Amino acid sequence: EAQVTQNPRYLITVTGKKLTVTCSQNMNHEYMSWYRQDPGLGLRQIYYSMNVEVTDKGDVPEGYKVSRKEKRNFPLILESPSPNQTSLYFCASSYTGVGGYTFGSGTRLTVV
């Protein structure tokens, strides 16, 4: 089944403790992206990647890191999480860059 897989689905952590949210797609897509979803703010793009080793900042990149060492994987790294990063995170991928992203099921992160 073609899909974008994120792990974990739920995560509660403490301020300052580094964490990684994994994302993998099995559709051989070139484009991948991370979004965060907050009430009233919609989906805001954190980072995106057009191919291996090619990444760029979205609208809210502060406090996040990404890497694209393999085509299928695009992990999101929070080096020192803070409570304002409590949110619902989505990973997404796309074949051509146009035609829309396919989204994962989301990771609900709580930073206390």
Partner 1 sequence: QQQVKQSPQSLIVQKGGISIINCAYENTAFDYFPWYQQFPGKGPALLIAIRPDVSEKKEGRFTISFNKSAKQFSLHIMDSQPGDSATYFCAAWRSSNTGKLIFGQGTTLQVKP
Query: Which residues of this protein are in contact with partner 1, per CB under 8 A?
Result: 4, 31, 33, 35, 40-45, 48-50, 56, 58-59, 90, 92, 94, 97-106
Are the C-beta atoms of residues 56 and 85 closer than 8 Å to each other?
Answer: no
- The set of long-range contacts for 40-48, using a CB threshold of 8 Å and a minimum separation of 24, is 43/90, 46/76, 46/89, 47/76
Give 35 or 85: the residue with its C-beta nearer to partner 1. Answer: 35
Give 14 or 104: the residue with its C-beta nearer to partner 1. Answer: 104
Give 17 or 57: the residue with its C-beta nearer to partner 1. Answer: 57
Are the C-beta atoms of residues 4 and 93 closer than 8 Å to each other?
Answer: yes
CB of 105: closest distance to partner 1 in angstroms?
Answer: 5
